[in-house]
Structure 1
Amino acid sequence: MTADIQAGNLSEEELRALIPQLQQLTEKYKRSELVQKALFDISELAGSVSELSRLYPAIHRTIGEFMNAENFFVAFFDQEKEVVDFVYFVDEFDEQTIRSIPAKELMGGITGFILRTGQHLVLTRENHQEVFASNNIKAYGKMPVDLIGVPLKRGNNVIGAMVVQSYDEAVRYSPDDLEVLLFVSQHIVNAVDRVKSRELTEQTIRERTKQLRNINEELQEEIHERQKIESLQQALFEISELAASLDGEMANFYSSLHDILGRLLSAPNCYIAILNKDKDHLDFPYYSDEITRDVESRPLGRGLTEYVLRTGRAELINFSRVAALRDDGELDEATAANMLKRSNSWLGSPLIVEGEISGVIAVQTYGADEQYTLKDLELLRFVSHHIAVAMERKRASDKLQMYNQQLADKVKERTDELHNTNLHLKKQIEERKQIELKLIHDAHHDALTGLPNRVMFNSRLELAIASKKRHTDQHYAVLFIDLDRFKLINDTLGHHAGDEFLIEVSKRIGKCIRGHDLLARLGGDEFVILLDSFDDFHDVEEVATRIIGSISTPFILDSKEMYSGASIGIAYIESGYQSADELIRDADAAMYQAKALGRGRFVMFDKSMRQKLLEELELENEFRRTLKSAKFECFIQPAMDIHTDKYLYHECFIRWEHPSIGKIKREQFWQVAEQSGLTIEIDNYMLEQACRILKHWQKSNGPERNYNVAINLSINHLMQNKLVNQLIEYIDKAQVDPKKLVFEFDENDLNRKSQFMLPAIRKLKRAGVTLVLDNFGSGLASLSYLYSYPFDFVKVDHRFVKSIPRSQRNLKLIQSVMVISEHLNFTLIAEGIENQEQLDALREVGCQYGQGKFLEQASVVDFQARNKSLTA
């Protein structure tokens, strides 16, 4: 978490979001401390309580410290008697009067499920029916709101169950309660085992003491035995206390066990062998021998220790028994030879923890003078169990101590992290304040030039409009500035040079206005100025003149001299304006008027410009209505073989006659279509007309049955793969042969976004459509299309044809393109043939196809005669 915070600057919302996480982490550590305290309490109970009847209420109180456990019971399963003993039971609704219940009566219930499966069980009011059904559990007694039951295990054996339950809707258990209860349950088993062991030991001691007291009068010789038993008792207590001690290394612990064992029987040589995790090697954590000083871990073989591990019982092996074990294959030759050579007497007992053998403790003597007896064997067998428990408790204690230390270190580490985080958060808050100030500045200023942006300009302009209404004698004006050749600079020199150009423009304009005037950049190459409180309207014209003169001065960009210009629209603030958008709109309209008059000038806005805008809007609305009702006039002009007068294809185009304005020029027609965003709809309309003509011709028995139809498509149809697919799908649904369709694309349109066009054009080519590059020679990158695009025909721009035959240069150009066409697999079409001289010149240089009014007149009689029904 800290790494994430330090990785970068966080927002205020993210910083706020961290507070619940930190609080949650704090709660987690508090809960961990409670669990740690509970484990300490349980460990102390196991060491101090001598009766189980006192242990269970104490455990109940300990669990109640970290979770609600008003209803709690502990049950143990006695496999021999096949009964379940409820050793402790507290419930506010159910009273358990019978302590022992036959297991078969409970195995179908909640307690039986835990004892059968060894799995924990979590029941809630919401899920108990589903859980009961899926696990075939029966309900006994009152059903609680929440219940958590966990198994009590000794090793892998389930010996009992511990259950907490709540009948109160306000008391619900969480997954953390389950996790803690599972963790504590194993320690509770260890505590119960310790107390049981202590009870057994004390009971045994009392019984032995009573026996000795009764026999003392008759047999004085038993006094010595009693003393040994008392020594054993003391030894067992010492072993128990030794395991309960939290201090000391394991090596010292084993050495102390050796000393205690040495007071019970002769144990000059002692070792402890432990099975590793894989149970294929023996490790020797303790080895004290007068002959062999050190011993290393070794694989299992046929030694004395392995014999005890195989039999699972304590063994006494003297030299008299060695030969028999060797002959039975229980001991290897080397071990038997050493035993016989040294007259060893050897005692070994398995170390059993929770029913599983984990190792062996062994003592041995050398020489025939000191031999172990069966009493010694019994004593070692008895003590070994306590030693095994003590060893396990010591290991568990060391692990717990290590865990507690790790937990303490973790808490300290997290505390330090929290402190550092708080310091970092304070620093972040200060940085956040600075960022907010910068964001406020950035929200009102242009990132490139540092000028105020549209938001700030509109705000200031709104204030000026309000001021004009209150103080009519004050004068304000808005200047809308548009730069010339900005796109050319961007395209030729790159965006970096374009940015430098805009920065330099902002500096030049800033020098042409007063300090209290406001200059802002709206975006792209558009700037606006608010002239504040000027005295004379001539002052506004003077400012505009200065700006135009300043912008017309050459710019040095990337060591190149570039020229630009400015067109300015001026709108004065009058009392009739209600918003900043109205003023900017009118100043923008005046600027477009300035550009229309030839650029490099300024124009004052008047109401006639607004009227013109309204007329353009009405023209656009009428355009939409005409398109919707399909009332455009459709015309056809052929492209022909100028040598044989055969038709190459017929170009279909539409014209619009406005009800009040009259015929609309082609350029204005497409301008209205683009401004209204209806170019794709016009393309679809043209395609529909072309398909209608082709289907009509297919029904004819004349030569028009083989005619092809061409339409002009805008590049907008090539911008999206979906639109190209729609074109192909429409042709297929119209049941028209795509080879009879010709699509013409204007070179000037392709220049704008040519990088997106090539995949779409290739897809149309694969569909079988004939492709024509129209107005070739009118753009900036004409030759690139000849090499890159799969056009079938290239139509030379009419301006080249118009000047021949008097312009030999243009005629040579047409000849050059014809030469290129032979290598690049396209055919040239000369567009705009208007007289016989042009036709003769093109025939002379070998041009095959042409199009124009002169050719149209020659073929119109025959064509109209065959296609009268198309005009209907």
Structure 2
Amino acid sequence: MAEDSQANELSVAELRELVPQLQQLTDKYKRAELIQKALFDISELASSVNELTRLYPAVHQIIAGFMTARNFFVAFHNSATETVDFAYFVDEFDELTLPTIPASELKKSLTAYILRTGNHLFLTKENTDEQLEGIDAENLGADPVDWIGVPLKRDDQVIGAMVVQSYDESERYTTQDLEVLLFVSQHIVNALDRVKNREITEQTIVERTQQLQAINEDLEEEINERQKVEALQQALFEISELSATAGGEITTFYSSLHDVLARLISAPNCYIATINKDTQFLEFPYFSDEVESEIKPRPMGRGLTEYVLRTGQAALIDKSKVQDLAEAGELAKSIPENMLKSSNSWLGSPLVVEGEIYGVIAVQTYSEESPYTFKDLELLKFVSHHIAVAMERKRAAESIQKYNQQLAEKVKERTTELNQTNETLKKQIEERKKIELKLIHDAHHDALTGLPNRVMFSNRLELAVANKQRHKEQNFAVLFIDLDRFKQINDTIGHYAGDMFLIEVAKRIGSCIRGHDLLARLGGDEFVILLDTFETVQDAEDVASRIIDSLSKVFVLNDKEMYSGASIGIAILESWYKSADEVIRDADAAMYQSKSMGRGQYALFNKSMRDKLLEELELENEFRRTLRESAFECFFQPVLNLETKESIYFEAYIRWEHPKLGKIQREQFSQVAEESGLTLELDNFLVEQACTLLRQWQYSDGPEKRYRIAINISVDQILQPRLINNLLDKIRKSGINPYSLIFEFDENTLNRRSQHILPTLTKLKKAGIQLVLDNFGSGLASLSYLYSYPLDYVKIDHRYVRSIPRSQKNLKMIQSILNIGEHLDFKVIAEGIETAQQYRELAGIGCQFGQGSYVQSAKKLVVKSDKVQSES
């Protein structure tokens, strides 16, 4: 028995002797795995990294994981600029202030040698002088202990260099490090050329993978040949298998782990401690001890287990160390007394899974005859990792089993619920189909009238256009309908009645067309019809006539009789039409033509309408450009005292000569300004011109110092308080006397806005501006204007003046206005005096003021910085 015991002790002793060898072998195996992982990672960089700024740190990180690489840089030679670009530079002692350095400053450096020759360099402190002898190179930075530099080549051309260096005697490089760097250098170039050289990169990866597989096979064969400690192998295998083969009881699993561990080191007493994260208590899922029968959970304190948890390192604690730890405050003071009393020797190692500590495995003895050594500590550290993994697998397996049971119950419950839900879903699907059909209908129909909308009409019209191109004998037409007085109806009786009006209109139009024709509402009061397969153009005109007749009849809305009407444009589809928009555009143009003819009309589209629209568009664009560049010619026609021939003021107006259309009539470009919304801008232009002239005249020594200028102002300019305030502010800032400025207002515009304009005219009058009622008699000629408005002058419309002496009635009307003016304190101006007889007749009835070509023609005044130039 003694001999057997001695034999057993020798076996354990031999086993302990072999632990360092096993550790070395394991380290070598880990190094081989690191090499394999590094090589695979480097091979993948060329295809996985798309940005060079990420490539260099990734390469640096890979190299640093395999060898010491705290000092690392990559440099490229730019032959075009003769510079060296340091794309990546990390060094403990040298600091790179400029990423790009002229090549001439580095021509003696080691890096320049590699760039120049394409050779690699492996320098150590022992062979540096020997290596540098005869190669015309020297180290320009801090002297390293070891220095490795490899070229970066594209085919046979050197494009750069990669360097790693060490300043620490304890960190030395080997030829294996050089080989890895040479390999990395090729893959950096591959990453740079990954698009052009993809096939070469993939082939290189395949070749290097084959080499790595061969190296791996050689390493595995060497490990198998040198494996001498079969007991450790068997123990590790059993630990790995326990998580899969142990029974359902967790205590059996822990007990089996204890048995395996006891065959490696002395472990008569063993326990496993874990941390309950919710309560921060130590729990002991396994406890086997010769002295204590059980141990209860306890709060975290200053015990041996907590010491390992705090430090995260395995620990050997015996009576030689426990007192020092207690004095340092790492352990409770009672622990040294207990260990010394029982001659304790304690080993503990953290259980780590995926970098997180979740427990401790510990063994202890109560005998001085078998204390633990550092070899036992290294072995426990090595085995504890496998134990932790096995425990985690076991715990995961139990969680999965428990989850599967719960899942089976849930599946059963869900199956029942799904059967009930399926019936509900069937009903919901049917409802969803109905909703989808309604959505499709709503997307293609007008919500108010239920008619097809613009989308559906355009789709049908596109088909008609395509059909016309294939079958020229088939006839189609589009009728564009615009309602008369719709806005007035809306404003008068409300929007709800307006909606009822549109619904009634849709019904009436629908009764005027055939079943296969398509009626749609584009929006607002615009309707369109697609007439399908009719015989002659007369058929389309008949439809338009029926619609006009139907819509001209009385509408009864909110118990009120209302009358409307329609203007219709007709566009006949021709084979040259390319799209529905072209047809609708031409029908719209024809509708505008019908409106110009008067209400209740229809018009057939012809090419002249489009030409007219294009002309109007071109006229508007040119008008905008001319106004933006202030390029209008400004003319001034005087208003004279017919007795003294002196000018009482000058009326300013604009003449515009179009580069293509020639001279544009005043009425025409005034209409363009109104339709394009530029009336206010045109008024502002005239005001600025007038203020500039008046400012120049008031500093003159001639007769122009007392001149005044009149401007025709749009009523829209003065209806809004903000606009009238801006206008008066502009006049004040110009520095002119407001009395020298006269505003003329057309009688027709006053007819439309008369109830709103009196406060504004009063405000202008108080500001010192004189007021003129222009074209009196051209409209309603309401005498209430003469009594109500603070007018300074009233201009008789030129048509009354031109009728003299032919119409004595008009002459007497002018005489009546003169009499009214004497009583109401305003002066009368006769506009448009063109003959001597007109002049004499007006003078005979006492008309004091006049204007016209006979009296004096208009002059063009050019505003300049230093003077005002007059041109006849």
TM-score by length of 1: 0.45
TM-score by length of 2: 0.45
